[in-house]
């Protein structure tokens, strides 16, 4: 059984970070999220992957190649135009096994496939959708199920009193290949809005199984930040790269930290980072590999991707900086989200 990873969306809500980068390549704890996902899939016994790409496909292809470095095989289903979440699956049809797993590449979660697969085997449906519970379902499509877990309908963006449950589609499915006959080829098709409702109507056996563990959609800046704060608080227990020097302070290899630098936990510092005298970093900062931070910089609640440069005296609060950004001296930035065009040449 192979896995299809949907990684072709435009990521418009995460712009400008995704202006010239596929959203799944956004760094999570100093590594592209897609890399974490591939590592997790391998641990779960999935060694053959297909990645459906459209927005800057070469960035994903150049980074992962044939997957050898990660001990998996990767093939790419490339879309000429945006085909949507179901259209992308249809386009990947020649690469897919009789039964396969589909994952949205922008969902950050503690992947545990065995219970989902066991449920799918037991119920013998056409699709088993991983479900997750959310506090406020009013922004999502909520499912209504019978006692066996069969999905009866999706209720889009319900008011609290109208919601049949607080369970939503978690963006992970087990699917039988014969279901692809219901997806039209060559045009944009949404799995949530078009394919799943059609499959329910056809009585194809669409089941939902609640998945456990941490789950968060990284689609918006708020949630992207939230994932990092959850990581630093260890609410989301993804292993962090770097040595934990003191409680809540993780520092990578070969860093040069000058005298008088203060870390206010929780803080994650990547490899080869230089920090100048009397800078104060934290709480809630994630500094990428090869970043250079000058003297007397004050940095709070900020995520900086690799190779950024913050000059002396800069004050940063609640910012997100893409690769290689330079912040001129004495700038005070609050809630800035910035990226550079140069990423394409990276
Ligand atoms: P927004 O533009 O901010 O809505 O983001 P998005 O469209 O990239 O993501 P969305 O949450 O709508 O999609 C969920 C997942 O499906 C993400 O991992 C996307 O990369 C992926 N996806 C969405 N549309 C397509 C598509 O047309 N082709 C492929 N291959 N993947 C897609």
Q: What is the pLDDT of residues 164-216, one digit of tens each?
A: 888 999 999 999 999 999 999 999 999 999 999 999 999 999 999 999 999 99
Ligand 1 centre from 253 Cα, in Å? 35
Q: Residue whose CA is closest, atom 7 of ligand 1? A: 9
Q: How distant, in Å, are the alpha carbons of 126, 250, 256, 275 from that of 270?
A: 44, 8, 11, 12
Half-sphere exposure of 240 (CA within 13 A, CB side): 32
CB-based pocket (< 6 A), ligand 1: 6-13, 23-24, 52, 54, 79, 82-85, 88, 104-106, 219
* Architecture of the CATH domain 245-338: 3 Solenoid (2.160)
pLDDT for 135? 86
192 C-alpha to ligand 1 centroid (Å)? 12
Residue 119 alpha carbon to ligand 1 centre in Å: 26
Task: Look at residue 342 in the predicted model and tell me its pLDDT.
Answer: 63
Share of the chain above pLDDT 90, in %: 85
**Ligand 1 atom closest to 15 (CA):** 3
Name the strand (E) or helix (H) holding 208: strand 206-210
User: With 0-12 CB in 10 A as exposed, 13-18 as middle and 19+ as buried, what is 83?
Assistant: buried
For residue 80, report the distance from its CA to the centre of ligand 1, in Å. Answer: 15
Written as six digits, the tokens of 239 are 């292993």
CATH 3.90.550.10 fits 2-221, yes or no: yes
Work out the pLDDT band at 343, boundaries 50, 70, 90: low
49: β partners = 3, 74
CA of 96 to the centre of ligand 1 (A): 19
- 220: CA distance to ligand 1 center in Å? 12
Closest Cα partner for 322 from 102, 14, 66, 73?
14
H/E element, 323: none
- Residue length, the chain? 346
- Residue 346 above 50 pLDDT? no
For the stretch 267-321, pLDDT in tens is: 999 999 999 999 999 999 999 999 999 999 999 999 999 999 999 999 999 999 9
| Strand-pair partners of 302 | 285
Residue 297 CA: distances (Å) to CA of 91, 282, 310: 49, 11, 8
Residues in contact with 225: Cβ distance below 8 Å, sequence separation at least 6, in sequence order: 301, 303, 318, 320
Residue 20 DSSP code:
T
Sorted by where each begins, the domain ranges of the chain are 2-221, 245-338
Beta bridge partners of 310: 293, 327
- Is residue 134 predicted with pLDDT exceeding 80? yes
Per the model's pLDDT, the better-predicted residue between 287 and 246 turns out to be: 287
Q: Are 2-221 and 245-338 in the same CATH fold?
A: no
User: In terms of pTM, does the model score above 0.85?
Assistant: yes
Judged by average pLDDT, the poorest of 93-102, 136-145, 167-176, 249-258 is 136-145
Taking residues 73-88, report their average pLDDT: 96
CA pair distance 283, 267, nearest whole angstrom: 6
Tokens of 337: 């989200």
Burial class (CB in 10 A: 0-12, 13-18, 19+), 125: buried
Our separate counts of H helices and E strands in the chain read 6, 30
Q: Exposure string (b/e) for 149-159, b if CB count within 10 Å is 16 or more?
A: bbbeebbeebe
Supply the residue whose CA is at minimum distance from atom 15 of ligand 1. 104
Nearest-atom number in ligand 1 for the CA of 10 is 8
Please tell me the distance from the alpha carbon of residue 90 to that of residue 179, in angstroms, as a whole number: 10
């Amino acid at each position: 059984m192979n896995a299809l990873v949907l990684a072709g969306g435009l990521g418009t809500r995460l712009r400008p970070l995704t202006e010239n980068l596929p959203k799944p390549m956004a760094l999570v704890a100093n590594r592209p999220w897609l890399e974490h996902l591939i590592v997790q899939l391998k641990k779960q016994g999935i060694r053959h992957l297909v990645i459906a790409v459209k927005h800057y496909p070469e960035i994903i292809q150049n980074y992962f190649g044939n997957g050898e470095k990660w001990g998996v095989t990767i093939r790419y289903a490339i879309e000429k135009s945006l085909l949507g979440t179901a259209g992308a699956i249809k386009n990947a049809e020649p690469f897919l096994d009789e039964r396969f797993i589909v994952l949205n590449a922008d969902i950050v979660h503690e992947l545990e496939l065995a219970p989902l697969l066991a449920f799918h085997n037991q119920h013998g449906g056409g699709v088993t959708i991983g479900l997750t519970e959310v506090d406020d379902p009013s922004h999502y499509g909520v499912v209504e199920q019978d006692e066996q877990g069969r999905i009866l309908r999706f209720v889009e963006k319900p008011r609290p009193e109208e919601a049949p449950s607080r369970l939503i589609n978690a963006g992970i499915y087990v699917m039988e290949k014969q279901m692809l006959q219901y997806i039209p080829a060559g045009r944009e098709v949404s799995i949530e809005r078009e394919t799943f409702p059609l499959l329910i109507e056809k009585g194809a056996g669409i089941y939902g199984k609640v998945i456990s563990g941490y789950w968060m959609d990284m689609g918006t800046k708020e949630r992207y930040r939230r994932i990092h704060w959850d990581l630093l608080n260890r609410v989301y227990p993804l292993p962090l790269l770097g040595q934990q020097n003191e409680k809540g302070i993780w520092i990578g290899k070969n860093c040069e930290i000058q005298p008088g630098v203060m870390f206010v936990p929780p803080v994650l510092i990547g490899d080869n980072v230089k920090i100048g005298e009397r800078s104060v970093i934290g709480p809630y900062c994630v500094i990428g590999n090869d970043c250079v931070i000058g003297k007397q910089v004050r940095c709070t609640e900020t995520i900086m991707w690799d190779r950024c440069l913050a000059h002396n005296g800069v004050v940063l609060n609640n910012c997100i900086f893409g690769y290689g950004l330079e912040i001129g001296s004495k700038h005070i930035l609050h809630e800035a989200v910035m990226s550079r065009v140069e990423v394409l040449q990276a």
